Amino acid sequence: MSTPLHTIFSWFETGDFPTETQFKDTFLSFYHKDDLIPMQGIEGFEEIFQLFASAEAFQAHLKDPNAHSEYLALLNAGNLTSAHVNSWKSKLGLSNAATIDSSDQLGNAYTKIQVDGFVDALKDADKDLALKIENIRNILLSNDLSLDELQEIVNFIKKNRDDIEALKAIPIGESREDKVKLLLDYDGLGSPKNQQEFNKQVYDKVLLISQTATSAVVQVTGSTEFPNTLETENVIIQARDSVTGKKINIDDYATNQTIKINMFGDIVNPINILILKVKP
């Protein structure tokens, strides 16, 4: 039990001779340097302690794939709405990307199977025209040919000349992806020359998005500056004692290339710096 200060002061006034009991009561009223101050001895400590997450809760938060699903896209894109998808397409320059038919939406480009079907139809038409041309040749060689029949032949050739020339311009086997030309430039994707190059550019961009980190943890022992692996200044930075898990007040500054940390006061244990990427 502690003794009030005014009582202790009264024992040590000029001319007084404190007793042994008074000396003991005086020193028992204070914490010794070698003794630990109990938590209940610090006013408001329990309430403040409850404001901080435990190390287990913090690690669970880092491993939770849905921890920031309201603000960040999941790796499987499961939380993206149609508006989100359209925004991504616009940012990536894919608004005019070629798409094929799906179960609920019509595409704006033909699939390889559809293109092969068109080619087969043209080949069949070519065979029919070849047969008709052969019939015309036989008629021309016939001795029994009237002027009316000859005029019909000339009219037929004139009418179908464009179709015949178009069929001749399509070599057999020219329906592969690397032979399908694009109608638009798509300069945002490096101006691909054909469907094959376009598909590869789209795949590479989607793969890059899925592999982009959204958080990082760096351990420091004092004020320092280190590379920003998230490559964006739009981040939230938190500092916690690596042993106690207690949140540490710091001053931070982030650019696309580096992150600078300034500590307030002395540091006892290494400090874990958590960097979270957020939307700009």
Say if 189 falls within a structural domain: no
Q: Read off the tokens for 58.
A: 């913090």
The residue-averaged pLDDT of 100-122 equals: 79
Say if 241 falls within a structural domain: yes
Residue carrying structure tokens 């400090």: 271
Say if 246 falls within a structural domain: yes
Q: What is the CATH number of the domain that holds 257?
A: 2.60.40
pLDDT per position as a tens digit, 40-54: 777 877 777 777 777
Q: What integer pLDDT is reported at residue 100 of this predicted model? A: 72
Q: Phi and psi at residue 247, in whole multiples of 5°?
A: -70, 135
Q: 129 burial class (0-12, 13-18, 19+ CB within 10 angstroms)? A: middle
Q: What integer pLDDT is reported at residue 257 of this predicted model? A: 92
Do the Cβ atoms of 218 and 251 come closer than 8 Å?
no
Say if 235 falls within a structural domain: yes
pLDDT per position as a tens digit, 125-149: 878 887 877 777 766 665 554 555 5
* pTM over the 0.75 mark: no
Q: What integer pLDDT is reported at residue 171 of this predicted model? A: 55
Alpha helices, H only, the chain: 5-11, 20-28, 45-49, 55-63, 82-91, 112-141, 147-159, 161-168, 195-211
Say if 26 falls within a structural domain: no
Count: domains in the chain: 1
